[in-house]
Amino acid sequence: MEHFLYFASDGPGRGHSGGMDADDSNILARGRVATRLPAQDLERARRFYAETLGLLPVDERPGGLLYRCGDTEFVLFRSTGAAPGTFTQMGFTVDDIETVVSQLKERGVVFEDVDLPGFRTEGGIAEIEGNYPSKGARGERGAWFHDSEGNLLGIGEPVR
């Protein structure tokens, strides 16, 4: 049996994650997505994720730590390359961003300050109009910070 990967340009109803069914025509739609984040110092990263974010690995192997949050997972892996930290590499969706940001600030997390036309953070949180309407939201509130390895992590709360 042949498997093909279809993209949105392949025709109506194909390739768009918002309305895609996990059928035999799209093998990736049946899979799970998991983030991989590089760490130049895996022990430093382990301490940051445990002490600052309150996350403990559920499994570990030489060169990697596996974490689970809800029904998703991510891996920190030993890497000689540095994370660019110039774009969001992983995001957490939360119900109360103000409480999460406040608690993380108490643990020493420094949130990014952004001041661009049409995009500004106040108290570390940005109001993003029109973001993710496919999630039933009219916008999102977002905040960003770097982990110990330079990975840029985001926190988002859908605005309904």
pLDDT over 50 (residue 157): yes
CA atoms within 13 A on the CB side of 42: 15
0.85 cut: is pTM over it? no
Nearest to 64 by CA among 34, 42, 41, 45: 42
Euclidean distance between CA atoms 35 and 90, whole angstroms: 7
Euclidean distance between CA atoms 65 and 57, whole angstroms: 6
Name the more confident of 85 and 129: 85
> Do 67 and 113 belong to one domain?
yes
Q: What tokens appear for 29 in the block?
A: 């739609």
pLDDT of residue 1: 33
The answer to whether residues 54 and 104 touch, using CB atoms and an 8 Å cutoff, is no
> Do 23 and 46 belong to one domain?
no
The answer to whether residues 139 and 97 touch, using CB atoms and an 8 Å cutoff, is no
Name the more confident of 20 and 56: 56
> Do 61 and 99 belong to one domain?
yes
pLDDT of residue 109: 98
Domain count, the chain: 2
Phi, psi of 39 (to 5 degrees): -140, 120
For residue 128, what are the domain limits?
32-159
Question: Quick count: other Cβ atoms within 10 Å of Cβ 94?
Answer: 16
pLDDT of residue 121: 95
> Do 148 and 77 belong to one domain?
yes
Supply the CATH number for residue 138's domain: 3.10.180.10
pLDDT of residue 6: 32
DSSP line for 91-138: EEE-S-HHHHHHHHHHTT--BPP-EETTEEEETTEEEEET--GGGT-S
- Tokens 């920190």 identify what position? 76
Q: Label the pairing between strands 125-129 and 139-146.
A: antiparallel
pLDDT of residue 159: 87
> Do 145 and 93 belong to one domain?
yes
pLDDT of residue 23: 60
Quick: pLDDT tens for 33-63: 899 999 999 999 999 999 999 999 999 999 9
Quick: pLDDT tens for 66-112: 999 999 999 999 999 888 899 999 999 999 999 999 999 999 999 99
Euclidean distance between CA atoms 144 and 154, whole angstroms: 4
pLDDT over 60 (residue 17): no
